[in-house]
């Protein structure tokens, strides 16, 4: 800003030389936002954009500032700030969940659940907020007249809390409208209230182990044989007449899984269609995902051993014309502590497996199912064959070596796949430098984007076994 020129009268009275100095001009005041809460939030957004303070987005101080705006009557402004914070890219779902849950409650208070729908759909995947999210999704669906969707979400609520206010009454009313039978006892059991509940005369439920799209898995006690087992109770919404095909398919897959009888496939011990119950051997050692999270990447020798066991299970399935379609660490389990000698990995969860048709072949085009980070390029297009499982086994092997998949989230969503994605960091192969080229060649062949260039499951298994023998001979860990 240029200095002010002296006025004409000042120049006449004092002259150019004798004129007293101009008084100092006050400094311009900085521009502030409307409140200290907004100042804090604006600074947080700026820092998040610079990659800083990523873990603070759902902290109590942030929620306190939002509450300050809300209680002062600026409801829309509070919501705008929350949406702005949640739009910052590359912040983990774990960090944003508390803020997302608070935003959903604000929308609900304003009667704007339709606007909250994308946030609710993300919160159902977080067990801290899944109960409330399912309930609000059910309420929204009921008000829109979507009884099927409402019933599904209400049943998910009962699966977590059998005493949730008004839900049981609404489930019974919606079941009557849909002409469905009442759920079998034990199917909608609260996650924290299962001890001593009977799943038939023979099995006593102990605690919940996990939930999936088709049912809930519990640790249970087989009273007759005095052993621990895993019991999967199917979600009640799969019992309706209109879902009969899905139910029949599930039990057919369970029978196929039982017929494999392979040491690297989870054993199915009992089926009861009337109770919609599947009894399986207990994977007391947890999953490969659990092991990797707790202990990090596997050693070279251990990774190749597990890889061979996975391929052995796949070879047995592929000989029967079954394509698993969802090979990933969460579906690979251990009977006991994975670090104990002789404990092998087991393949489980054939819930989306592609079964052979009447000719015994499993190569037809179908809808794309599976987990994106482990799906072969052709699987994303709905083309299913044994080669897709071989590709997924390469992704799992890379993850065992390094602790992460070969690609970033953006590449997963874009579906870009290249053979050099499987190029291993030099440090991974340092334990067996003389075998580095051979190991690298093996994983890149299995992960070739072109299924025609991948080895068959049997060939991949033979290569893996040879590598294991050579690693042992070289004394690598």
Is 228 one of the annotated active-site residues of the chain?
no
Please report the pLDDT score of residue 11 as a whole number: 54
C-alpha 63/C-alpha 390 separation (Å) is 47
Please report the pLDDT score of residue 275 as a whole number: 75
The pTM assigned to this predicted structure is 0.58
Over the stretch 15-35, which tens digit does the pLDDT of each residue have? 555 555 555 544 443 333 457
Please report the pLDDT score of residue 220 as a whole number: 87
User: Domain 203-281's class?
Assistant: alpha beta
Q: What percent of the chain has pLDDT over 70?
A: 77
DSSP string, 121-133: HHHTTSTTTHHHH
Q: Contact, 179 vs 244, CB < 8 A?
A: no
Give the HSE-up count for residue 413: Cα atoms under 13 Å, Cβ half-sphere: 3
Q: Which residue numbers in the chain have pLDDT < 50?
A: 1-3, 9, 13, 25-33, 181-197, 358-360, 363
Q: Is the dihedral of CA 322, 283, 330, 198 positive or negative?
A: positive
Nearest to 265 by CA among 256, 277, 273: 256
Please report the pLDDT score of residue 224 as a whole number: 86
Torsion of CA 164, 117, 141, 138, to 10 degrees: -10
CATH level 3 topology of 288-473 = Transferase(Phosphotransferase); domain 1 (1.10.510)
C-alpha 141/C-alpha 124 separation (Å) is 15
Please report the pLDDT score of residue 205 as a whole number: 81
Over the stretch 88-109, which tens digit does the pLDDT of each residue have? 887 888 888 898 999 999 999 8
Please report the pLDDT score of residue 458 as a whole number: 96
User: Domain 36-178's class?
Assistant: mainly alpha
DSSP string, 149-188: HHHHHHHHHHTT-TT-TTHHHHHHHHHHHHTPPPPPTTSS
Please report the pLDDT score of residue 468 as a whole number: 92
Tokens of 91: 């912040």
Domain ranges of the chain: 36-178, 203-281, 288-473
C-alpha 399/C-alpha 332 separation (Å) is 13
C-alpha 386/C-alpha 454 separation (Å) is 10
Q: Contact, 268 vs 257, CB < 8 A?
A: yes
Please report the pLDDT score of residue 188 as a whole number: 40
Please report the pLDDT score of residue 124 as a whole number: 87
Find the catalytic residue in 326, 349, 389, 448: 326
């Amino acid at each position: 800003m240029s200095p002010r020129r002296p006025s004409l009268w000042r120049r006449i009275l004092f002259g150019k030389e004798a004129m007293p100095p101009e008084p100092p001009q006050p400094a311009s005041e900085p521009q502030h936002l409307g409140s200290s809460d907004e100042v804090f939030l604006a600074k947080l957004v700026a820092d998040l954009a610079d990659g800083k303070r990523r873990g603070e987005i759902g902290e109590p101080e942030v929620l306190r500032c939002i509450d300050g705006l809300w209680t002062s009557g600026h409801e829309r402004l509070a919501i705008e700030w929350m949406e702005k914070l949640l739009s910052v890219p590359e912040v983990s779902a774990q960090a944003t969940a508390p803020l997302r849950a608070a935003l959903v409650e604000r929308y609900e208070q304003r009667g704007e659940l339709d606007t909250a729908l994308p946030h609710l759909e993300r919160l159902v995947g977080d067990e801290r907020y899944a109960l409330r999210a399912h309930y609000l999704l059910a309420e929204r669906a009921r008000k829109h007249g979507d009884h099927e969707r409402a019933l599904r979400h209400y049943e998910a609520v009962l699966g977590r809390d059998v005493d949730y206010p008004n839900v049981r009454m609404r489930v019974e009313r919606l079941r009557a409208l849909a002409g469905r039978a009442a759920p079998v006892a034990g199917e909608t059991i609260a996650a924290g209230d299962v001890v001593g509940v009977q799943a038939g005369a023979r099995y006593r439920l102990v605690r919940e182990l996990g939930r999936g799209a088709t049912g809930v898995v519990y640790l249970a006690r087989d009273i007759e044989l005095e052993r621990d087992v895993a019991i999967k109770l199917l979600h009640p919404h799969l019992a309706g007449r209109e879902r009969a095909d899905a139910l029949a398919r599930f039990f057919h897959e369970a029978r196929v899984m039982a017929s494999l009888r392979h040491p690297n496939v989870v054993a199915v011990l009992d089926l009861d269609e009337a109770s919609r119950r599947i009894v399986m051997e207990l994977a007391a050692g947890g999953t490969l995902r659990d092991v990797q999270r707790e202990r990090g990447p596997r050693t070279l020798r251990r990774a190749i051993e597990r890889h061979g066991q996975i391929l052995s299970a796949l070879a047995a399935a592929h000989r029967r014309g079954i394509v698993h379609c969802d090979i990933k660490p969460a579906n690979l389990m251990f009977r006991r502590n994975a670090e104990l000698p002789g404990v092998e990995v087991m393949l489980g969860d054939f819930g989306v497996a592609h079964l052979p048709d009447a000719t015994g072949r499993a190569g037809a085009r179908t809808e794309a199912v599976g987990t994106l980070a482990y799906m072969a390029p052709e699987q994303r297009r709905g083309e299913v064959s044994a080669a897709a499982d071989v590709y997924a086994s390469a992704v799992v092997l890379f993850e065992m070596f390094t602790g992460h998949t070969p690609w970033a989230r953006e590449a997963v969503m874009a579906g870009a796949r290249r053979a050099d994605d499987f190029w291993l960091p030099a440090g991974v192969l340092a334990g067996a430098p003389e075998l580095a080229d051979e190991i690298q060649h093996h994983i890149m062949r299995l992960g070739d984007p072109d299924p025609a260039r991948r080895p068959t499951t049997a060939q991949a298994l033979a290569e893996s076994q040879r590598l294991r023998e050579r690693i042992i001979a070289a004394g690598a860990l």
